[in-house]
Amino acid sequence: MPATPNLIDDVYDEILSRNPGEPEFHQAVREVFGSLDRVLERNPQYVQASILERICEPERQIIFRVPWVDDANRVRINRGFRVQFNSALGPYKGGLRFHPTVGLGTVKFLGFEQIFKNALTGMPIGGGKGGSDFDPKGKSEGEIMRFCQSFMTELSRHVGEYRDVPAGDIGVGGREIGYLFGQYKRMTNQYESGVLTGKGLTWGGSLVRTEATGYGAVYFTQHMLATRSRSFDGARALVSGSGNVAIYAIEKVVELGGVVVGASDSSGAIHDPDGIDLALLRDVKERRRERIAVYAEERGGRARFLPGASVWDIESDEPIHVALPCATQNELSEAQAAKLVANGLVAVAEGANMPATPGAVRVFREAGVLFGPGKAANAGGVATSALEMQQNASRDSWSFEHTEQRLAEIMEAIHERTAATAEEYGAPGDYVVGANIAGFTRVADAMLSLGVI
């Protein structure tokens, strides 16, 4: 009988009562705690130093008003957030999300995940996350710019190369990072490239950052598949979403010989049994910023749009070997997981943060499906952000080949670290246990060294 179950339950109960109304944060904490009993047994020093309690309490939470003027000259108000969760390993690092569902609990769940993900990369970055309930959908270029400028006017007090380095996430891509960086530069009167990552290539950005999260998730999957002597060659895959992570995951799957037969956005899913035409999808989503239905209309043939459906509802006559959820949290349910398993699923890698519900994760693990949790599988994005920071600090810019090689090595190392830790703690092949323990112990050891702060 483990010596610590009561402690973990007690700390969790305390977190529930101290953080009411934040179900996604609770879910993320529960998921990590589920792997930690064996770690606390072996490391009583973590218990003595209250690492569990401390790691769940953000170092700082900033909530601010974001006033801006719309095209009709009306003053609009949104709420901005930055949660600076843990800086034991380096400056806070993590993206900004602009989406109407964003609240403190969302940002805390993402920031909490980010602590362990960033630790897994082996790079000197702490964990943080931010965002706003601003909805970029349907807004003009001018409105997006004015919102970003107002958001940065407050955020600028809290960020910096050595303090906190935001990047993109849902609703925040190169365009928004540009407006945020422009306003920061104007306010501080200095060209501090290292304050944000995901920058454009002519003003301090890194090659491969755009592709990194999607490519990294596919590299991670490739390593998982190799443990069963399998590869992407001839594999059929479903990818949810059609944003930054999804697009480059699709690109890499196809490059490695796989076929992607479905993708989605928040209006529905497309099923294209002959394989998605990536050039058309990119044109529709990246350039024209249209709904995904337009892809099916223009593609013709056997491509279909399924209004309001999830990609995981697609009825495929042929087996689906790989699932890459790359849209949003809790998008893949237990019932959808069971259906995928029945249709020949071999591997899942979370390109998004926490896209599989706890029930879905249980189904995958019990069925022996290779399951790469987001902390490990989507860490290529933030790792390449850290490479962007390295380039900024050395006033250098690396070639695409060199940077992609670094990304590939980092993803291989994360896979190795995760698999080895799972093995060491008696759970061979369980990437959830491996990622949680490897991430947690790296941060916990640093926290011990830094004293009670």
Ligand X SMILES: NC(=O)C1=CN([C@@H]2O[C@H](COP(=O)(O)OP(=O)(O)OC[C@H]3O[C@@H](n4cnc5c(N)ncnc54)[C@H](O)[C@@H]3O)[C@@H](O)[C@H]2O)C=CC1
**What residues line the site for ligand X (CB under 6 A)?**
168-171, 173, 213, 241-246, 264-266, 326-328, 331, 351-353, 378, 381
In this structure, what token pair is assigned to residue 450?
């830094």
> How big is the site for ligand AKG, counted in residues (CB under 6 A)?
13
Report the residue number, 58 or 171, with the smaller CB distance to ligand X: 171
**How far out from the chain centre does Cα 181 lie?**
21
Place of tokens 């809790």: 330
Residue 223 DSSP one-character state: H
Q: Binding of ligand AKG at residue 93 (CB under 6 A)?
A: yes
Q: Which of 80, 94, 373, 434 binds ligand AKG (CB under 6 A)?
A: 94
**Integer angstrom CA distances of residue 230 from 72, 254, 352:** 56, 16, 23
Single out the residue of 168, 219, 169 nearest to residue 198, CA to CA: 168
Pairing mode of beta strands 268-271, 370-372: unpaired
Within residues 324-353, the interface with ligand AKG by CB under 6 A covers 353
Give which of ligand X, ligand AKG, none residue 264 binds (C-beta under 5 to 8 Å, depending on kind): ligand X
Report the residue number, 231 or 390, with the smaller CB distance to ligand X: 390
- CB-count exposure of residue 157 (10 Å: 0-12, 13-18, 19+): exposed
Q: Binding of ligand AKG at residue 414 (CB under 6 A)?
A: no
**How far out from the chain centre does Cα 198 lie?**
14
Contact region for ligand AKG (CB under 6 A) — 89-97, 267-275, 324-332, 399-407? 89-97
Give which of ligand X, ligand AKG, none residue 93 binds (C-beta under 5 to 8 Å, depending on kind): ligand AKG
Residue 355 Cβ, how far from ligand X at the closest point, in Å? Answer: 7
Give which of ligand X, ligand AKG, none residue 241 binds (C-beta under 5 to 8 Å, depending on kind): ligand X
Within residues 176-205, the interface with ligand AKG by CB under 6 A covers 197
In this structure, what token pair is assigned to residue 109?
């769940």
Q: Which of 95, 111, 127, 130 binds ligand AKG (CB under 6 A)?
A: 95
- CB-count exposure of residue 70 (10 Å: 0-12, 13-18, 19+): middle
Comparing every residue's Cβ against ligand AKG, the nearest one is 95
In this structure, what token pair is assigned to residue 400?
């695409």
State the catalytic residues. 129
Q: Where in 22-163 does DSSP place strands (E)?
A: 60-69, 75-86, 92-98, 126-132
Residue 242 Cβ, how far from ligand X at the closest point, in Å? Answer: 4
In this structure, what token pair is assigned to residue 8?
């973990």
Count, residues in the chain: 453
Single out the residue of 99, 119, 94, 101 nearest to residue 32, CA to CA: 119
Q: Which of 32, 249, 360, 382 binds ligand AKG (CB under 6 A)?
A: 382
Report the residue number, 111 or 262, with the smaller CB distance to ligand AKG: 111
- The binding site for ligand AKG (CB under 6 A) comprises 93-95, 114, 117, 167, 169, 197, 353, 378, 381-382, 385
